[in-house]
Structure 1
Amino acid sequence: MNVNIEKEISEEIKKFNGLLDYETAKMLVMEKKGLLSLPKISDAKGNVSLYAKILSIGKIRNAGSKKVLNIVIGDETGCCILALWEKNVEERNLNEGDSIKIINGYVRDGYYGKEINVGRWGKIKKVEKEIKVKKCNSNFLNLTGILNKKYATKVYINGDEEKFFSKIVIGEKEIILLNERIKDMQKFKEGDKISIKWAYSKNKKIFLNDFGKIEKNN
């Protein structure tokens, strides 16, 4: 390989304090030079680096002894969850609508389907790049309709933690609201036309959690 490229690969590894392996660093250098295109979400597997657009940001939560932040991301091939761990959770400069570059993430089959995880060996950064997002064909759902029914909030115990849930009916569809989304529903009344964004389907039920949204539809 060209000596200059080898030097750039070494510099890329140093820049990430040795967290990148040779092949990942090589891929990033080749991509910068226009000699390689990064994969899209639909093709992502194993260890991966790619570009995506932030569509919705959840709330930092505990997962055992670690913290995790779930973000919905998309590109022209579809959508998935980006799960940030370790130091990446504290990345406060991220906003919905931002384009980001994911470096050295890893793909697994998560609770919501395909999930790209970025932990101690990976990194994310904002980029100036136009990314068009195709309609998601995953488990995510967007619904608009009349709020026909609101149910009372209930509590369940998960280990030492209290969690809350409630149910609403939009049209003929029943949606289960979790935690913060229950508070959002307090400003709506039966008969309102509302939109639900980033709900997800699991075991034939529809849920709306921390990265979901409820909006009034005029």
Structure 2
Amino acid sequence: MKVKDLMPRKRADVTVKVISLGEKRQVIGKDGSSHQVVDVLVGDETGCVLMSVWDSNINKVTQGKVFAIEDGFVSVHRGSMRLSLGRTGKMVETQGTFEVNTQNNISNKVVEDERRRY
């Protein structure tokens, strides 16, 4: 799968290169536990997307590294698509030589979150 093919609220296997990292933030989970999260811009030759990287995975991520995202999940946050590992996903460092298409940032496209709110 390629970045341009990512769909909201779907699982995804995609290989991406890290373009840039945002600021590390501390957040409190629903269970009251403390976590760290960083928004990372990742992409491939078809486009780029923001990826939320949590806790111990933050130290693995540096600009220019390539990762195979296995069983990732595309969520919608404030109308923007985000790639994450979800509960079952894995992030494995791999090799890859490709230029990232930063002109097609799919996180900048407004997406309706069709999930039911209860």
Normalising by structure 2, what TM-score? 0.72
Write the distance in 1 (CA, Å) between the matches of 2:36 and 2:85: 12
User: In the alignment, which of 93, 98, 102 is matched to residue 131 of structure 1?
Assistant: 98
What percentage of aligned pairs have identical amino acids? 25
Unpaired runs of at least 5, structure 2: 30-34, 111-118
The answer to which structure has the higher helix fraction is 1
Q: 2:5 aligns with which of 38, 43, 47?
A: 43
Q: Map of 1:4-83 to 2, 5 A cutoff? A: 39-45=1-7, 46-65=10-29, 66-83=35-52
1:158-177 mapped onto 2 (5 Å cutoff): none
- Structure 1 residue 71: Cα displacement: 0.3
What SS is found at the alignment partner of 2:60? Answer: coil
- Checking the alignment, whether the CA contact within 8 Å between 1:75 and 1:134 is kept in structure 2 is yes
How well do the aligned residues superpose, as a CA RMSD in angstroms? 2.6
Whether 1:105 aligns to 2:72 is yes
How far the C-alpha of 1:120 sits from its partner, in A, is: 3.7
Using the TM superposition, give the Cα deviation of residue 63 of structure 1 relative to its aligned residue in structure 2, in angstroms: 2.8
- 1:87 and 1:112 map into 2 onto residues whose CA distance is 27
Provide Cα deviations, 1:93-124, integer angstroms capped at 9, x if missing partner: 32101111111110022247221011342121
Which of 1 and 2 has greater Rg? Answer: 1
The structure, 1 or 2, with the larger RCO (C-alpha pairs under 8 Å, 6+ apart) is: 2
Would the aligned equivalents of 1:78 and 1:136 in 2 still touch at CA under 8 Å? yes
